[in-house]
């Protein structure tokens, strides 16, 4: 399948929902933001040009005033907490984790508090009390404590799970991390969106799209551009504002 035909199944699904008075709720998260860059400019222009809100998962330790200044003219962009330093503490042969079971819970919570204070100080109301764990992995022992330090929700990758921390997750990753580490096949990405729509309860849930602007290749940029352009004005879907993303956690 090539060209516009790749999008036909999704557009038919959205048309059907619009005809029934239903709306698919999309949201856009992009990870590993630290500083202004041409890639970040491209992402912000793409989202803003289509009227699509954006949540940037920002790494607190290395970020600073430059990113805060860059976002001042972007009313649709918000900032979430992306761990502390995006440092891997897992051992050899283990999957990468910063917030895994390798360190005391108290130490990790202290880092998260420091990260919140820094991002809140830099970004003010643009900062959301939403934790995006680096590599989308987190020690379950941390979850009961997140609310106590002011984090209202958790965002990882995959279907939301019941637990002590409300989740609002991403379900469609633009990047082929296990293959070419570039943009995934457009037909496969559309299929992932349709699969999420077909899950039980999905009409009342969200479809989270996950990007990593610093590693996007031409294929990833092209897909994201087409997705935003084709859906942003469609009556069968709505791109959630950051506050609505938090409200959708459950």
What pLDDT does 234 receive? 96
CA neighbor of 105 nearest in space, from 53, 148, 41 = 148
State the number of CA atoms in the 13 A half-sphere of 119 facing the CB: 31
Residue 250 pLDDT greater than 90, yes or no = no
* Contact between residue 31 and residue 210 where contact means Cβ atoms under 8 Å apart: yes
Of 39, 83, 91, 21, the residue nearest 57 (C-alpha):
83
* 36: its two tokens: 């202004």
Quick one: average pLDDT of 10-33? 94
Answer yes or no: is pLDDT of 2 > 60.
no
**Residue 97, CA atoms < 13 Å, CB-side half-sphere:** 17
Handedness of CA 191, 231, 26, 116 (dihedral sign): positive
Helices (runs of H) and strands (runs of E) counted in the chain:
7, 8
* Other Cβ atoms closer than 10 A to 76: 17
Band (245; pLDDT cuts 50, 70, 90): very high
Please give the backbone phi and psi of residue 116, each rounded to the nearest 5 degrees, phi first.
-60, -45
Q: How many percent of the chain have pLDDT more than 70?
A: 96
Beta strands 237-239; 24-33: pairing state = parallel
Per-residue pLDDT, 204: 59
Does 70 or 206 have the greater pLDDT score? 70
User: Which pLDDT score, from 0 to 100, does residue 200 have?
Assistant: 55
| Domain extents in the chain | 3-248
How confident is the model at residue 201, as a pLDDT? 53
Output the pLDDT for position 90. Answer: 85
Provide CB contacts within 8 A for 174, sequence distance 6+.
Answer: 183, 184, 189, 209, 210, 211, 212, 216, 220, 223, 224
- Split at pLDDT 50, 70, 90, the class of 3 is low
Tally the residues of the chain: 250
Q: How far is CA 49 from CA 37, 42, 76, 237, in A?
A: 18, 10, 10, 17
The 10s digit of each residue's pLDDT in 182-232 is: 999 999 999 999 999 886 555 557 899 999 999 999 999 999 999 999 999
Give the per-residue pLDDT at 202. 54
pLDDT for the residue 1: 46
Please report the pLDDT score of residue 93 as a whole number. Answer: 86
Domain 3-248 has CATH 3.20.20.370: yes
Give me the pLDDT at residue 203, please: 52
The answer on pLDDT for 112 being more than 70 is yes
Enter the pTM of the model.
0.95
Asked if residues 10 and 192 have their Cβ atoms less than 8 Å apart, the reply is no
d(CA 174, CA 176): 7
* Furthest-apart CA atoms within the chain: distance in Å: 53
Q: Which residues contact 111 (CB under 8 A, 6 or more apart)?
A: 83, 84, 85
């Amino acid at each position: 399948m090539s060209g516009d035909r790749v999008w036909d199944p999704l557009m038919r699904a959205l048309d059907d929902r619009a005809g029934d008075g239903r709306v698919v709720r999309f949201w856009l998260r992009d990870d590993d933001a630290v500083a202004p860059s041409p890639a970040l400019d491209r992402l912000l222009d793409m989202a803003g040009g289509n009227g699509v809100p954006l949540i940037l998962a920002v790494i607190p330790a290395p970020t600073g005033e430059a990113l805060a200044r860059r976002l001042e003219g972007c009313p649709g962009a918000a900032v979430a907490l992306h761990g502390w330093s995006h440092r891997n503490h897992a051992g050899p042969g283990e999957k990468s984790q910063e917030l895994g079971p390798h360190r005391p819970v108290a130490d990790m919570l202290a880092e998260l508090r420091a990260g919140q204070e820094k991002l809140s100080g830099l970004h003010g109301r643009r900062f959301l009390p939403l934790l995006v764990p680096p590599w989308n992995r987190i020690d379950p022992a941390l979850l009961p404590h997140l609310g106590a330090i002011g984090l209202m929700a958790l965002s990882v990758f995959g279907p939301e799970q019941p637990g002590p921390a409300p989740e609002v997750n991403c379900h469609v990753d633009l990047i082929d991390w296990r293959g070419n580490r570039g943009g995934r096949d457009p037909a496969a990405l559309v299929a992932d969106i349709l699969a999420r729509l077909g899950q039980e309860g999905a009409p009342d849930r969200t479809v989270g799209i996950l990007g990593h602007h610093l590693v996007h290749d031409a294929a990833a940029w092209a897909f994201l551009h087409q997705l935003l352009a084709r859906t942003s004005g469609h009556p069968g879907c709505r791109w959630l504002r950051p506050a609505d993303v938090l409200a959708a956690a459950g």
